[in-house]
Amino acid sequence: MAADKTLARSGLYFDELNKIRVLEPEVAQQTTELRDECRGFVDKINDFHELADHFMGVADRLRDAVEKEKLSALGARNMLKSISKQREAQQLQLQALIGEKKLELERLRIQHDSLQQTEAEQQEFIEQFITQK
């Protein structure tokens, strides 16, 4: 023990395996504990980086999927507007055609009335002609 104290004064120590050390056993123990804690911390940081990288990958894939769906929705909305405009144009065309057909119907009705009147006049003329004979 006296040798241990003499060596300790000169900065040399014996560890639990009776090896000569430059550090005090207590400081060596604290250093070992700090090293182990640092390794644990580094492992946790590495795990965190892996988890963050995975999260970023998932977020990127979701962003791409959302962007794709957004573009798809815009395309569908534009197509719906286009179909709506086509229907409006078609409706206007059909209304114009209905207007034309109504005018033609009125013209044909007037022509029919005129022809009926002409037929009645001719029938009357024929009856007068037959009765005069």
Average pLDDT over residues 98-117: 98
Decide: helix, strand or coil at residue 17: coil
Domain ranges for the chain, please list them.
Answer: 2-132
Task: Report pLDDT digits (tens) over 54-66.
Answer: 999 999 999 999 9
Decide if 20 contacts 14 (C-beta within 8 A).
yes
pLDDT, average across residues 11-18 = 66
* Token pair of 71 as six digits: 């573009």
CA-to-CA distance for 80 and 73, rounded, in angstroms? Answer: 10
Which one has a higher pLDDT value, 129 or 107? 107
- Asked if 47 and 41 touch (Cβ cutoff 8 Å), the reply is no
Q: Provide the β-strand partners of residue 13.
A: 21
Please state, in angstroms and rounded to a whole number, the distance separating the CA atoms of residues 98 and 104.
10
